[in-house]
Structure formats: C-alpha cells, structure tokens
Amino acid sequence: MSESLKSAVVGAALRLLEPLAKLLLEAGVGVGEFHQLAKRAYVNAARDRAQEARPNISRIAVLTGITRVEVASLLAIPAGEEPVAERGRHRAERVLHGWWHDAEFLGRDGKPASLPLRGAKRSFVSLVKRYAGDPRVATLLEELVRVKAVRQRADGQLEVLSRTFVTARWDTQGIGIAGERVHDLLETLVHNLKHPNAPRYERFVVSTEVAPRFVPMLLRDVSEQADVLADSFQDALNDPARSVRPADGPQDARRVGLAIFIVDEPTTVETPASGRKTRTQRPD
C-alpha cells in the first residue's frame, strides 16, 4: 500500500470514528475499553482473512502488531463478552465501580455509603483519588450529578444512584441494530473499493445548499417515496419462489438487503463581497 493510499485510509477511518466516539462517550466507554475492542476487531479480521480452520496465532500477530500472547488471549474471549480495561477506562466509571464494590465505601448493609465531599477518611475526595487519580474532583462530581448518577442531599452528603456513567437513554435492541446497519454499509463500501468491476449497488445523493424552510417538506416527500421503494423490494426479497425452504439439513442461502437513510445536518454557503456564491462548508 502506497503512503498516499494509507494516508487516505487513515483519514477516512478518523472520519467514521468521530460519530462512533460520540456514541461511546455518551455510553461511558473510555478509550481503554475502545482500545481493547479495536484489538479484538483486528484479531478477528486477521483470523477471517486467513480463512483457516484453526487460527494461526503467529500470522495474526505479524499482521496486527499484537503480541502472540495477547492474540491467544483475545481469541479465547467468548463472543459478546465485554472488554476488560483498567487503563484508559472512563474515570467516572472507575469511581462508580469503587463506590459500589470497595468495602471501605460500603455501609453495614453492604450498599454504597453516603459520603461527605471531603474531610473524613471515607469521603468522595478519597474515593476519587483511589479510583480516578484525578485532582479535578469538582469537575468529576459535576459530571456525575449531571447524568444523575450521583445526587447531593440537603445535608451536603453525596449519594450514589447509578452503577454506571451513561448519559444516553437508548434501548439495547436499538443499539444492536445501529451496529448491524453500520457494519453492513461499511462492508458494502469496502467490497466496492476492492472489487470496482463487480460492485454492489450503492448510491448517495446529496445537496449542501437546501434552504432550511424546505427541509421538513423534503424529508416528508423523500421518506414517503423511500417507503414505496423499500416495500416493493421487501416483497421481491421474500418471494417464496426465490427463497430457500426449510429442510432436514442445512442449505446454502444468501443474505440480501437494501438500506435507505437520510442525512440532515447544517452547512454554510459562503458568499464573497461580489455576491457570487463560492463554496459550501460543514460546521466543525
């Protein structure tokens, strides 16, 4: 791979990681946990690329830059198990974990004790120092209160309400579907890059100069037209004459689908002093 091509791939990767990072931050996932996920994804991709019945740990280590010992450890992790990462874990998550599990910060009933902000040996400041190592206690407390993981009572004592720092209130099924949709779209785009002579259908139509007052009407009309197309494609996909029917043993089949989505974000159309339109920019 040439340096210019690698640079383009890295730039594209950063672009697609930006919305993912926003989602992870809202879910309380720190960079350490993401790092563990990324390493698992690299190992899985290198394993699938080899298409061998038994993974070759040495080859995977060479391809990914991960040590053989860690490759073996990552391959042994059951599918669906969450990554374990203390370094780089969200500081608020570490503090909450300590508050719920460290005996020094539990009451006689085994539940998290109410804590003074500072002063006593068992305080919020001492909890933060032990589990976050961050002197900015006030900032961390402000964030915990903001997401309603902690509340401050009238007497000044701090009470923990949640086991996790999660700012988002999404349903778990919806999160899973989002992951599947992004996976499918990226698989298609990568396939088309690798096989330009036999691409899968993919088309993106966009305007960066739509007047805001027309957006609601356009979104309504486009959604209605997209529904008609999607319904007709669904009927074609599920035609019994084209489907594999259940039998006594496994039968080969293919997963075929169509994705339609709408993009709507603010832009700025620059206009010079002459009054001639020049270019359109996305806001940072």
Please write the tens of the pLDDT for every residue from 19-63.
889 888 887 788 888 888 899 999 988 988 877 768 889 989 998
pLDDT score for 227: 93
pTM for this structure? 0.63
Distance CA 146, CA 41 (A): 33
Q: Confidence class of residue 80 from pLDDT cuts 50, 70 and 90?
A: low
**pLDDT tens digit sequence for 55-66:** 889 989 998 999
Distance CA 75, CA 124 (A): 39
Calculate mean pLDDT across residues 175-194. 89
DSSP 170-209: --HHHHHHHHHHHHHHHHHHHHHHH-TTSPPP------S-
Q: Which residue has the tokens 């509340």?
A: 151
Per CATH, domain 91-160 is 1.10.150: no
Q: Confidence class of residue 1 from pLDDT cuts 50, 70 and 90?
A: low
Six token digits for residue 144: 């915990």
Q: Looking at the chain, list the stretches that DSSP marks H as alpha helix, in order from N- to C-terminal side.
A: 3-26, 31-50, 57-64, 68-75, 91-101, 124-131, 137-146, 172-194, 215-237
pLDDT at 90 over 80: no
Distance CA 260, CA 96 (A): 40
Locate the domains of the chain by residue range.
3-75, 91-160
Six token digits for residue 224: 């209605």
pLDDT at 276 over 60: no
